[in-house]
């Protein structure tokens, strides 16, 4: 998704392997995000986001809340179009042991 945080007022989220999206202010003692977050990507309900540099360790989350947040421009944000698959089902699949192993293999082979 390419929708940006133009208003610069949306909460900044990080992704943890265990908890998914977390409020960056709660996660870090010092502010990690830049003061200008207008280029950060918006994450709407049922959107996925991941950090390509950390996908091999499971840094992928589904926004299961009704809130909108934003993530660094270095993250990839996507959503399921239409009703092709339930986002929660895809999330479970992507976090399965088998898929995590495949991701690790593909990341390290290239």
pLDDT in tens, 23-52: 876 655 455 567 788 889 999 999 999 988
Print the SS3 string covering the chain.
CCCECCCCCCCEEEEECCCEEEEHHHHCCCCCCCCCCCCCEEECCCCEEECCCCHHHCCEEECCCCCCEEECCCCEEECCCCCCCCHHHHHHHHCCHHHHHHHHHHHHHC
Q: Is the pTM of this model over 0.85?
A: no
What's residue 62's pLDDT?
Answer: 95
Phi, psi angles (nearest 5°) of residue 91: -60, -45
What's residue 29's pLDDT?
Answer: 46
pLDDT in tens, 85-109: 999 998 888 888 888 788 777 765 5
């Amino acid at each position: 998704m390419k929708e940006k945080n133009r208003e610069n007022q949306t909460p900044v989220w990080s992704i943890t392997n265990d908890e998914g999206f977390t409020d960056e202010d709660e996660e870090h003692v010092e502010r990690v995000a830049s003061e200008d977050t207008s280029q950060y990507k918006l994450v709407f309900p049922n959107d996925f986001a991941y950090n390509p540099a950390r996908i091999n360790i499971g840094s992928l989350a589904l926004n299961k809340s009704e809130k909108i947040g934003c993530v660094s421009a270095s993250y990839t944000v996507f959503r399921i179009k239409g009703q092709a698959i339930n986002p929660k089902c895809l999330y479970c699949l992507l976090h399965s042991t088998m898929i995590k192993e495949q991701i690790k293999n593909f990341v390290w082979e290239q």
